[in-house]
Amino acid sequence: GGRCLVVMANSKYEYVKREFEFHRHLPASNWIVVRIDGCHFHRFSELHAFEKPNDDRALRLMNACATSMLEKFPDIVIAYGVSDEYSFVFREKTEFYKRRESKNISLCVSYFTIVYGMKWKDFFPNNDLKEPPYFDGRVVCYPNINTIRDYLAWRQVDCHINNQYNTCFWALVKSGKTEKEAHQALKGTSSKDKNKLLLQQFQVNYNDEPAMFRKGSTVYRDKVKTDDCGNPIKRTREAITVSNFDLIGPEFWENHQYILGEASDYLCLGGKEKYGYEYVKKFDNIHRLPYSNWTIVRISACQFDQ
């Protein structure tokens, strides 16, 4: 039961860490987005008999995992998810693991995956996991609030395009067409064409489909003035909320300006910037070239046609 003290040995083999292991730090004053995506989830969804085109249980499970992410990592200010994908936006000034790229990706992906497995039975009580779910991840930095909003709008537009197509596709398949025939029937169709197909052939108004399917899910900390029982409280508190709002238009952002904050988010003390001139050092992020590699410097003329 005693604690074991680990001492790093200064051996001749330590060069493998010193000379080959590098840590890429993400640039300062950038919003960090970690996007997690299911690996081979087409097979996974078939193996576990997910409903097509959308399985409400599977989507709510993803939302529950995203909620746990915001509970675990306070620097995540908002998350957006659709299907087997979720994007997590870290605040601009985050120092989460010193902005090390590998840490940001690996911690988010591993934690999300573990929570997915732990919460599986909450949403699929009669369906055992037949194989472990797993996800990949990527990290991208964006320089300002406008770009972050455009990123989230891009993912929501993608949600609409894919969901509208899948709604039509599976309606055709369930009506008796083969998957190849369904794909062929939808080839070259516009959004208006798909709405018309659903309404005329299947009496389905696409706009009446659940908002979670059409718009995806947004997870954020909402400012509420009631306790968990609905009783009014004097001070506003933050509660992690899952919603299905439109993120493309201005309404959501006008009503939730505190999520992304001001564009120039300098912390001020008595009217003076906290960071001062020392802050510029954060941009001086020089990467060493790896050992035991030939180094080639290629010089190319700039604007030599002039």
Determine, yes or no, domain membership for 304.
no
Is 1 flagged in the annotation as binding? no
Determine, yes or no, domain membership for 168.
yes
Determine, yes or no, domain membership for 268.
no
Q: Residue with structure tokens 């939808």? A: 186
Based on the domain organization, do 208 and 235 belong to the same domain?
A: no
Is 276 flagged in the annotation as binding? no
Determine, yes or no, domain membership for 156.
yes
Is 83 flagged in the annotation as binding? yes
pLDDT attached to residue 280 = 58
Determine, yes or no, domain membership for 281.
no
CA–CA distance, 116 with 118 (Å, rounded to integer): 6
Determine, yes or no, domain membership for 175.
yes
> Which residues does the chain have with pLDDT short of 50?
262-275
The answer to whether the CB of 87 falls within 8 A of the CB of 155 is yes
Determine, yes or no, domain membership for 173.
yes
Tokens of 48: 């576990």
Q: Residue with structure tokens 């794909």? A: 183
Based on the domain organization, do 90 and 236 belong to the same domain?
A: no
Is 38 flagged in the annotation as binding? yes
Based on the domain organization, do 208 and 226 belong to the same domain?
A: no
Domain enclosing residue 96, as ranges: 31-217
Based on the domain organization, do 144 and 237 belong to the same domain?
A: no
Determine, yes or no, domain membership for 189.
yes
* Domain count across the chain: 2
Show which of 193, 217, 241 is a domain's final residue: 217
Based on the domain organization, do 171 and 230 belong to the same domain?
A: no
pLDDT attached to residue 224 = 79
Is 84 flagged in the annotation as binding? yes
Based on the domain organization, do 142 and 246 belong to the same domain?
A: no
Is 40 flagged in the annotation as binding? yes
Cβ-based burial of 149 (10 A; exposed 0-12, middle 13-18, buried ≥19): middle
Share of the chain above pLDDT 70, in %: 85
CA–CA distance, 37 with 62 (Å, rounded to integer): 11
pLDDT attached to residue 302 = 87
Based on the domain organization, do 187 and 164 belong to the same domain?
A: yes
Question: Alpha carbon of 17 to those of 14, 22, 133, 285, 295: distances in Å?
Answer: 6, 8, 31, 20, 20
DSSP secondary structure letters along the chain: -----------GGGHHHHTT---PBPPTT-EEEEEEEESSHHHHHHHTT--SS--HHHHHHHHHHHHHHHHH-TTEEEEEEETTEEEEEEPTT--GGGGBHHHHHHHHHHHHHHHHHHHHHHH-TT---SS---EEEEEEEESSHHHHHHHHHHHHHHHHHHHHHHHHHHHHHHTT--HHHHHHHHTT--HHHHHHHHHHHH---GGGS-HHHHH-EEEEEEEEEE-TTS-EEEEEEEEEEEE---SSSSHHHHH-TTTT--SS---EETTEESSGGGGGGGG--PPPPPTTS--------SSTT-
210 preceded by a cis bond (ω within 30 of 0): no
Based on the domain organization, do 155 and 229 belong to the same domain?
A: no
pLDDT attached to residue 188 = 95
Based on the domain organization, do 163 and 125 belong to the same domain?
A: yes
The reported pTM is: 0.84
Based on the domain organization, do 63 and 211 belong to the same domain?
A: yes
Is 37 flagged in the annotation as binding? yes
Based on the domain organization, do 41 and 107 belong to the same domain?
A: yes
Based on the domain organization, do 117 and 171 belong to the same domain?
A: yes
pLDDT attached to residue 74 = 95
Tokens of 235: 């001070």
pLDDT attached to residue 265 = 41
